[in-house]
Structure formats: structure tokens, C-alpha cells
Amino acid sequence: MKRVYNFAAGPAVLPLPILEKAGSEIADFNHTGQSVMELTHRGSDFKGIVEKAEKLLRELLKIPDDYAVLFLQGGGSLQFSMIPINLAGVEQGEAKKSALYVDSGVWAAKALDEAKKYVNVKIAASSKDKNYTYIPALPAGIAAPEDVYLHICLNNTIVGTRWNTLPDTGAGTPLVADASSCILSEPLDITRFGALYAGAQKNIGPAGCTVVIIRKELTEHAPSWTPLMLRYDIHTKDKSLFNTPPCWCIYIISLVLEWIRDLGGLPAIEKINKEKAALLYNAIDNSKIFCSPVVKEARSLMNVPFVVRPELAADKDKIEKKFLAEAATAGLVNLSGHRLVGGLRASIYNAMPLEGVGALADFIGKFAV
């Protein structure tokens, strides 16, 4: 069996022991004589899996009881619609309400574009002026009582920035966050958020499931025209089993959560992630060929873009191509930057071992043009 170090931004690397366990029981889960993919979702065997996943997620993130934990479909992109539809609660013919969005990256911008269909979007702050290479400061008292929520992207996957200090939205305006690329990478105070969502395919499991953590009171305002599958209240009431859920994804998620718990939970994961990030940023900062486009105080722990140094810009394409080819030969794959921004990027999620980051850091150090 061949294995590589996979630095893809998502779908991304999964822990090898989980893949091996899933493979070993793929045709006979827990002596049922059935694959997890064959288990009826109304039976006790599958209910045990989804309940285990929810329980572990609640324990790891210390999620209070007044928050629902949902395993949905449609990725972050469907949340871009569900958040404004459900939270604004505007019936057809009624006037739109306002919501605040921080424009801090490509996905943050996609979220606010989609929200414009359902709410009056107010841009609370933007870092677009410098290609999203920093997290913009929020003016004090930005949230007015009429603003339904303030939306941020907690970690910007494409540009590699993160919020280190959460914005204070005051008592009346809940904070809503896309946490797709940083959830479970370190401890997080859930009580600071009204809602939080994350596509599973980065730090939680395989593509095809979206985790939503939402204060239950915020689920109760869906307007009557909301498509049933887009109503948080229904998924909350039915505990993610309103219709057939993405069973296999939830199963792998339950294994990933167990793996995190067994490693020592989020404090232990944070320690390893900080060590990994320091190793990689150090290699980039010391490189004579590459540099980081991101201001130091906003650097993501999970997604690390790097670009050819300005003085070598004339050879940029050639250098990138050589780097990608030689890295792949060395078993370091998926290091291209996102197609919208170019350059290079290493995503170093929880499942990327320290050894993989070490190998990449060494490779960057030794790479010559």
C-alpha cells in the first residue's frame, strides 16, 4: 500500500488508523452482518453511530444543551442560504432585514453574495483592498439592534488567515461563523456564537456532511416558504434524521471524533497544530525562494499559502511548476494554491502528522531553483 502526505484543502487527509478500521469492517459493521452503508437509518445500529458522533462533538467542544448539533448535507454553500433564510425569518412580501458580513476572503465573499437574496447585507469590514491578506478590524459598536446577525469566516481557507480574537457583537446580534477549515483544530468558546457551521471535508470527515451548531432559539424563525430540508427547526426536532442522512460520512466523523478524544481532546490537538504551523511558517520565512503573503498576526494554523518571492517573480511559473513536480515525486502532494489565487498552499489539518509537515519543511528548505 502506498501512502503520500496529502496537503489538499479539502477533501483532505484522514487519519490512517481510521481508514484501516473502516476498511476492516466495511462489509460487517459491529457484527451486524451489514456495511454501515447498508444499515437502515431508523435502526438502533445507525442511531448509535449518530448519537455517538453528537455526544463526542458536544464533549470535545463543550457545547451547551441549548445548542442543537446537526449533521446536514449541502456543504458550507447551502449554509450560505440557510443562515439568512432561517435567521431573518422574512415572509414573502415582507421587507428584508439587515445582516452584517465581514468580507475577509473568497468564501466570506461568496457567503455575503448569496445572503443578498434574503437580507440587506451590510459590509461590517473588508480586507479586500490587500487581497484578503489580513483580518480587518471591526469598528466598535458596529452591530445595530436591527442587525439579525454578524457573519464571519473564522478561518479563510484560500488566503490562509484566521480570526485570533472574536468580534464583540453585543448582546442583541448573534455571531455566526463559517468554521469549515478550523473547527476542532483548537478549543473554541461556543457560547460566543449564535451559530457555527463547517463542511466536514477538512477537519471532521469526508465530503457530504455539514456540521451545524446553533442556539436552539435561532432555529425557530424559518419563514413559511423555506424548503423543508433547509429548515433548522425540523432537523433539530428530528435529531438529524428528518430524512436519510449521509450515513457513511457520519460514521467516519464518529471515528474522527473518537480519534481526537483519544489524542487528548482539543487542548492536545492545539498543541500539535501550533507545533506543525510553527515548523512550516519557519521554513517559509527562512526560504530564499518563497515567502508568506499573510501578515504574521493573522496566519492560519490550518491553511498555509506561500508564494515565490517578489525578486524571483519573473520565474514564478517555472519555479512553482518545478516545486510541485519535485514535491510530488517526494510524496508531498496537492500543494497548488486555490485556482482563484494561484501560488502554493499546504493545508495541515488535524490529520496531517507532524512528520508530514516536517518532510515539507525540509523539502522547502532544500528546494533550489
Write out the catalytic residue numbers.
107, 178, 202
Among 63, 154, 176, 247, binds a copy of itself (CB under 8 A): 247
The distance of closest approach from Cβ of residue 233 to a copy of itself in the complex, given in angstroms and rounded to an integer, is 15
**Omega within 30 of 0 (cis) for the link into 17:** no
Is residue 18 left, alpha or beta, with left meaning phi > 0 and alpha meaning psi from -120 to 50? Answer: alpha
The number of residues that bind a copy of itself (CB under 8 A) is 75
**What backbone torsions phi and psi does residue 98 show, to the nearest 5 degrees?**
-105, 150
Q: Which is nearer to a copy of itself, 74 or 342 (CB)?
A: 74
Q: Which residues pair with 103 in a beta bridge?
A: 126
Residues 200, 211 contacting (CB under 8 angstroms): yes
- Please state, in angstroms and as integers, the Cα–Cα distance from residue 127 to each residue in 111, 130, 136, following that order: 15, 6, 5
Considering only residues 19 to 58 of the shown chain, the ones binding a copy of itself according to CB under 8 A are 19-20, 22-24, 26-28, 31-35, 37-43, 46
The residue range among 12-20, 125-133, 293-301, 353-361 that interacts with a copy of itself, by the rule CB under 8 A, is 12-20
Among 67, 132, 248, 281, binds a copy of itself (CB under 8 A): 248
Residues 71, 250 contacting (CB under 8 angstroms): yes
Residue 262 as a binder of a copy of itself (CB under 8 A): the answer is no
Overall size of the chain counted in residues? 369
**How far apart are alpha carbons 85 and 69 in whole angstroms?**
19
Look-up of cell digits 462489509:
27
The distance of closest approach from Cβ of residue 330 to a copy of itself in the complex, given in angstroms and rounded to an integer, is 12
**How far apart are alpha carbons 129 and 75 in whole angstroms?**
28
Exposed, middle or buried: residue 361 (CB in 10 Å: 0-12, 13-18, 19+)?
buried
Q: Which is nearer to a copy of itself, 164 or 224 (CB)?
A: 224
Considering only residues 174 to 203 of the shown chain, the ones binding a copy of itself according to CB under 8 A are 199, 201
Residue 252 as a binder of a copy of itself (CB under 8 A): the answer is yes
**How far apart are alpha carbons 8 and 279 in whole angstroms?**
18
Q: Mask 139-178, x = binds a copy of itself (CB under 8 A)?
A: ----------------------------------------
Coil, helix or strand at residue 71:
strand
Q: Which is nearer to a copy of itself, 237 or 271 (CB)?
A: 237
The distance of closest approach from Cβ of residue 7 to a copy of itself in the complex, given in angstroms and rounded to an integer, is 10
The residue range among 138-146, 264-272, 280-288, 331-339 that interacts with a copy of itself, by the rule CB under 8 A, is 331-339
Q: Which is nearer to a copy of itself, 43 or 64 (CB)?
A: 43
The distance of closest approach from Cβ of residue 187 to a copy of itself in the complex, given in angstroms and rounded to an integer, is 26
Q: Which is nearer to a copy of itself, 74 or 265 (CB)?
A: 74
The distance of closest approach from Cβ of residue 328 to a copy of itself in the complex, given in angstroms and rounded to an integer, is 10
**How far apart are alpha carbons 244 and 248 in whole angstroms?**
11
